[in-house]
Amino acid sequence: MKDRILNTLDQLRRYALSKGYSVSIYFQEEDSSLMRFANSAISLNTNEHLIRLNITACDGRKRASYGMITDLSRVEDMQRGVETAAEMVKHSMPLTYESTIPVFREAFIDESGYDPSLAEMSNAEKLAFFNRVVADMESDEIKLSGVFSNGANTTAMVSTATPYPLYIKTSDAQVSIVLAHQTLKWEIQSEQSAQKKDELSADAMRQELSCLMSHYMHDTPQQLPLGVYDVVFGRAAIAEMLQFMSYIGIHGGLMKRGYSCLSKEDIGKKIFSEQFTLIDDPTRLETFPFRRDLSGMTRQPFTLVENGIFKGFIWMQDDADEFGEQPTGHTIPHLSLSMAGGSQAVGSLEDLFNQPRDHDLLYIPFLHYMNIVNPSKGILTSSSRFGAVLLKKDGQTIIPYNVRLTQSLLDIFGDKVDWLSAETSAYNLSTSYDARNPTAFIVPRFARVNGLEISHSNSSY
């Protein structure tokens, strides 16, 4: 298949050259499967095989693009797509800056992230995985929900600037298992991300759910008083906040447009906790990385924050062109963020729950429906979900109804950080609003942040 893809793209590239067009052609193929569970049944079992082609034509400072869902047998349709983009660009309007078209200096073929045994897992294997995780946990009251999403994703690109292609193929899986009480409405969850099949562990998910279940089945739910809490965030919450930091923190183009809580003056300054180190690390296969970006730049680990000191913004090619900056190799569908672990040997829920403590700790594994209240101050708001627990300093545990936090990223990753787990792992942030785009960040298992205010506390789940 790889050869067929590359030959087709080369054919299109030659076609564009023969017509005198300046184009880049982006190819994406997904073979996606999703088994979804609800009410302890498979509620949806679906697969989609889709090939997308996006052609961007440039003419001086003008550019236009044409996208299509197609298949490799329809070369004439694709050529018509090239013609459409070339026709559209004639009627476009010049940009106020020079726009760089992708230049691939050498062929780059990367299939190191592809594991066919993960991409092609059978329906029966996926069902067996789920059944093993939740064996004996379901009842008339406790129902299973979740997803097992797996597939293969191929990205390829050529431009008329050089004959060399970019080709990256990955496999990925995102597993989420939820157990929910039908009448009490509590929900607990375990999640896993995998780039290759042997990263999946039904036992680890089962252990996590069992631990939460033992508390949720026996402890009394409670509406927490509003006020200030020492909070331990789980990996889902940490990854979600980093995702927002990638928009309203470290993104150079958005900073220039006023949507960032960081400024150029912050570069080189200690902005965050000394324990906070953040790298965009395309060497980590667990993050489904792009080791070349879509403008042709080689990508290496890129330090964003080192021991609290902000090192610099990321610049996509188009933003760099517009604002006169140097691109940093971040013209990519997703980042490969890796947040360094700390020194705390707390690698599991049992470790956290059994740890001696001098204060009450509010464990929040997951933050639901996060949104930006004030980008220039880095303020986000979100609600707890999926298995929060109040760990009392006397050793007792209380199950809290969901609570809302409205806080600044500058505080959450700032001096309020108490400790970070030494253990880190990949957390899967993939969404599928459009094309498959497997995304995961490496984050510590837990992060304790002291003195955060709870602004709303539910009286039920």
Partner 1 sequence: MLDQIKQQISRVKALGASYVDTRWYPVEETNSLLMWNGNLKESSATFESGLGVRVLYHGAWGFSASSDTSDLAALYDRALDNARIASERLSLPVRLAEKDAIQAKFVSPNKINPFEVPLSEKVAFLSEMDKKLDQPGVTQRASSLTFIRKQIIFVDSEGSEIEKVITEVFAGLEVDGVDSEGGMYERKFSPFRRGDSRGWETIDLQHFSENAERIVRELNDTLNADPCPVDDRSVILLPGIMYLQTHETIGHALELDRILGYELAFAGGSFVTLDDFGKLRYGSEKLTARADATLPNTPGSFGFDDDGIPAQDNLLIDRGLLVGAISGRQMVEEANARARRQIFHGSSGANRATSFYRVPIERMTNINIDPGNDGTLEEIIRNTEKGIVLDGDRSWSIGSNREQFHFGTEAGWLVEDGRVTRAVKNATYKGATLPFWNSLTAVGDASTWEVYYVPNCGKGQPNQIMQLGHGVPVCRFDNVRIGE
Q: What is the footprint of partner 1 within residues 23-82 (CB under 8 A)? A: 32, 34-51, 62-71, 73, 81
Binding partner 1 (rule: CB under 8 A), the pick from 95, 101, 161, 213 is 95
Minimal distance in Å, beta carbon 422 to partner 1? 30
Minimal distance in Å, beta carbon 458 to partner 1? 6
Binding partner 1 (rule: CB under 8 A), the pick from 20, 91, 203, 324 is 91
Residue 459 lies near partner 1 (rule: CB under 8 A): yes
Q: Which range, of 13-21, 100-108, 309-317, 368-376, touches partner 1 by CB under 8 A?
A: 368-376
Site string for partner 1, 409-438 (x = CB under 8 A): ----------------------xxx-----
Q: Are strands 302-306 and 278-280 parallel, antiparallel or unpaired?
A: antiparallel
Residue 460 lies near partner 1 (rule: CB under 8 A): yes
Residue 185 or 392: which CB sits closer to partner 1? 185
Residue 408 lies near partner 1 (rule: CB under 8 A): no
Minimal distance in Å, beta carbon 412 to partner 1? 16
Minimal distance in Å, beta carbon 174 to partner 1? 10
Residue 178 or 340: which CB sits closer to partner 1? 178
Q: Which range, of 173-181, 210-218, 306-314, 327-335, touches partner 1 by CB under 8 A?
A: 173-181
Among positions 126-145, residues that touch partner 1 (CB under 8 A) are 127, 130-131, 143, 145
**C-beta atoms surrounding 184 within 10 Å:** 15
Residue 29 or 115: which CB sits closer to partner 1? 29
Binding partner 1 (rule: CB under 8 A), the pick from 243, 355, 406, 408 is 406
Residue 298 lies near partner 1 (rule: CB under 8 A): no
Residue 374 lies near partner 1 (rule: CB under 8 A): yes
Residue 255 or 346: which CB sits closer to partner 1? 255
Residue 377 lies near partner 1 (rule: CB under 8 A): yes
Minimal distance in Å, beta carbon 397 to partner 1? 21
Q: Which range, of 83-91, 303-311, 338-346, 414-422, touches partner 1 by CB under 8 A?
A: 83-91
SS (H, E, C) the chain: CHHHHHHHHHHHHHHHHHCCCEEEEEEEEEEEEEEEEECCEEEEEEEEEEEEEEEEEEECCEEEEEEEEECCCCHHHHHHHHHHHHHHHHCCCCCCCCCCCCCCCCCEEEEEECCHHHHCCCHHHHHHHHHHHHCCCCCCCEEEEEEEEEEEEEEEEEECCEEEEEEEEEEEEEEEEEEEECCCCCEEEEEEEECCHHHCCHHHHHHHHHHHHHHHHHCCEECCCCEEEEEEEEHHHHHHHHHHHHHHCCEHHHHHCCCCCCCHHHCCCECCCCCCCEEECCCCHHHCCCCECCCCCECCCEEEEECCEECCCECCHHHHHHHCCCCCCCCCCCCCEEECCCCECCCCHHHHHHCCCCCCEEEECEEEEEEEEEHHHCEEEEEEECCCEEECCCCCEEEECCEEEEEEHHHHCCCCEEEEECCEEEEECCCCCCCCCCCEEEEECEEEEEEEEEEEECCCC
Q: Which of 96, 191, 175 is nearest to 385 (CA)?
A: 191
Residue 97 lies near partner 1 (rule: CB under 8 A): yes
Size of site (CB under 8 A) for partner 1: 88
Residue 124 or 394: which CB sits closer to partner 1? 124
Residue 97 or 393: which CB sits closer to partner 1? 97
Among positions 224-283, residues that touch partner 1 (CB under 8 A) are 257-259, 263
Minimal distance in Å, beta carbon 373 to partner 1? 5
Instruction: Give 455's Cβ-side CA count (13 Å radius).
Output: 8
